[in-house]
Structure 1
């Protein structure tokens, strides 16, 4: 089968992966809740790993964009659709976040509140803040939105990485994935070995592009007909195993080589586990096997996950400002439920009144413009 015939095919939607997006977003929510309402015991150690939900998003993004790629979509249209998908909701969330995270006072009372800087906020508007490692800039505007800088960079790279992948068959695609994994671990080894070198100063979008590329390579192998027989329990279990190792080995074997390894290569281990879980779930879904993750409630939550990701931290910091840091207690689960409900309500509103309708209008405008250009050519 030629590349053209592959890219002309309309690939089936994998709803189970949409459902899984919600749990990645919920994991990030649990991580951010620790600044306001920590839980007692080892649960907190597990929730401290919640930022790895972002790693899952990056791998999944590469997979989904490559799985759904079509030769009927021009490069300019691809870029416009990505802009329409991401930017409008991010701007509304930014406007909502600024009063919570910024003050006109030169010395704000709360440690998370920053003095207003028009120049720095402007970087957030154009999604460039993530190219800085300075926390004031990196977490500027809506603090969670630094990941959108990474996504914007990945979108820019996608057509060019696709040109590398498109001629490859299954074997070549898997070699591509293996090569990126080697590069990913190799870079981390250099950064861990030489912590004060330029290796540790590479901005996040460039470093995290390997996660996106791995997702792309796995998706292209699927489009070439690869159907690995990896049980979903193994795929999901690999994430649990990776997170368990990251938490438990340094705790029970501090100073050991194993502790150094899992601490130094934590993100790389989770990346591989995320790729394994995605390929297991995608393989099962394409084979027609049912999944609870494909249930309507999970799919709906997955569709809201981007909006939820954008607004949840703002609600948490509002609660922190009003009620102050809560002592570690299981009673804080009530706060988790309350702020989860608030975040979901905000996410639903953002999704249904901004994200989807504005995306639809922007896409329609571009499609109409392209048709006029074709008609006039």
Structure 2
């Protein structure tokens, strides 16, 4: 496989659009964040499953983060992840806060204290809600990055398969029996199956072994298990029934699509467009939900509600594309190089081999 897996950029974008569809075509109305829209019932009921796009994000993350961590020092990994996540998060969070303040929608308010807490990303630890509810998955991603960083520091990344088996076992025990919130947060026990599936797929790319196949099978089985359990919360929260077979097929189908895309030998002419839409995904995910919720009602006052949703989606896509091409592409590489030079004195301490 080529060094950059362009097909996964496309899959990442599809997962993001599934989440956007979930928020604008289902959750907005169900949670009272959007007015009732004259949408076809089939469209609304299909969009309800779009939340599973986040599970695909986690599979991709498990694969890509392990892929990128191999051969890197702890400092290189830290700088790479920090620059990829934090600057764009701060910009999109600030944009969301400003739009919400200007819109003056009583359902969405942002205080100065809330904004300040969100600068730390882990705002819930400071007793403040997220500026946008979609940030919960970013927190889980950062927890996962933290564990990978620790494995790099202690020189145990090569033991990732055994560690992943242990992670699954602890996760199952906690979710099925103990239900300790600290473990759920620190070990991402509800969603670990998806991260481990990505890890297993990355290792299988190096060679097929019974151990790796078992890890993939167990992780996907656990991912289906937690997704089915989560459906009960979903139904109670939104008052809408979900099909358990559809959930299982969506999770397993997403993993199968991942394998097909990762193994595909894509023509070079597709590389540029796929990398572009992949780059749009992160800013789009961060900025779409609450900005959409406060702008769609205004658009729907002068446009057909269905057209209002389309205008909002294309506007958010255009904004995310502009930010990625005009800001991220030029600023992030320079910031990465500068931050690495700044932190270079820490490299010997981080790279010290355990005695």
In structure 2, distance between residues paired with 1:82 and 1:62: 13
Say whether 1:87 aligns with 2:86: yes
Tell me the equivalent position of 1:25. Answer: 16
| Residue 209 of structure 1, CA deviation | 5.5
Secondary structure (helix, strand or coil) at the match of 2:258 reads helix
Tell me the equivalent position of 1:277. Answer: 257
Tell me the equivalent position of 1:114. Answer: 109
Contact persistence 1:61–1:215 (CA under 8 A): yes
Report which stretch shifted further, 181-190 or 339-348.
181-190
Say whether 1:125 aligns with 2:124: no
> For structure 2, which runs of at least 5 residues remain unmatched after alignment?
29-33, 211-219, 233-240, 348-355
Tell me the equivalent position of 2:352. Answer: none
Deviations 1:219-239 (A, max 9, x none): 1232x32399xxxxxxxxx9x
Contact persistence 1:130–1:203 (CA under 8 A): no
| Residue 45 of structure 1, CA deviation | 1.5
In structure 1, distance between residues paired with 2:346 and 2:118: 33
Contact persistence 2:299–2:308 (CA under 8 A): no
Deviations 1:295-345 (A, max 9, x none): 643432122111111222244123235246999xxx644233312210111
Tell me the equivalent position of 1:225. Answer: 207
Tell me the equivalent position of 2:281. Answer: 305
Say whether 1:213 aligns with 2:196: yes
Tell me the equivalent position of 1:150. Answer: 140
Deviations 1:108-137 (A, max 9, x none): 7622x1251x333222111103558x8xx4
Secondary structure (helix, strand or coil) at the match of 2:199 reads helix
| Residue 65 of structure 1, CA deviation | 1.5
In structure 1, distance between residues paired with 2:68 and 2:2: 6
| Residue 272 of structure 1, CA deviation | 5.2
* Number of residue equivalences: 312
Tell me the equivalent position of 2:49. Answer: 49
Distance 1:130 1:40, change over 3 A: farther
1:166 corresponds, among 158, 175, 197, to 158
Tell me the equivalent position of 1:231. Answer: none
In structure 2, distance between residues paired with 1:187 and 1:148: 22
Contact persistence 1:130–1:147 (CA under 8 A): no
| Residue 186 of structure 1, CA deviation | 4.9
| Residue 260 of structure 1, CA deviation | 9.9
| Residue 165 of structure 1, CA deviation | 5.0
| Residue 93 of structure 1, CA deviation | 0.9
Deviations 1:235-291 (A, max 9, x none): xxx9xxx8xx97xx99xxxxxxxx99939x95x886555444323322x23xx3x47
Secondary structure (helix, strand or coil) at the match of 1:305 reads helix
In structure 2, distance between residues paired with 1:41 and 1:261: 15
Distance 1:372 1:207, change over 3 A: closer
In structure 2, distance between residues paired with 1:178 and 1:161: 15
Secondary structure (helix, strand or coil) at the match of 1:206 reads coil
1:362 corresponds, among 318, 322, 335, to 335
Deviations 1:118-163 (A, max 9, x none): 333222111103558x8xx44x223322322222211111134565
In structure 2, distance between residues paired with 1:323 and 1:205: 42
> For structure 1, which runs of at least 5 residues remain unmatched after alignment?
1-9, 192-196, 229-237, 251-258
Contact persistence 1:127–1:152 (CA under 8 A): no
Contact persistence 2:292–2:312 (CA under 8 A): yes
Alpha-carbon RMSD: 4.3
In structure 2, distance between residues paired with 1:325 and 1:204: 44
In structure 1, distance between residues paired with 2:267 and 2:173: 36
